[in-house]
Amino acid sequence: MTELLYQTDSYLQSFTATVTGIDPESHAVILDCTAFYPSGGGQPSDQAA
C-alpha cells in the first residue's frame, strides 16, 4: 500500500520513494509513498508544469 505523505505534511517538497510496480497500459509507476495529491474531492490536484 502506498503511504500518502501529503496527509501528514501538505508542504512537503521532496521525498524518497521506491518503485514497487509498473503499469504499462497507463504508463504509470507504483511507488511505496507519494506526496502527489490526486484529483477529486473538490480540491485541485497536482499538475505537471
From first to last of its 49 residues, the chain has per-residue pLDDT tens of 889 998 999 899 999 999 999 999 989 999 999 998 777 667 777 777 6
Q: For the chain, give every domain's residue range.
A: 3-34
Q: Give me 16's grid cell.
A: 524518497
| Whole-structure pTM value | 0.68
The grid cell for 32 is: 511505496
Written as one letter, the residue type at 27 is: H
Report angle CA 10, 19, 14 to the nearest 5 degrees.
30
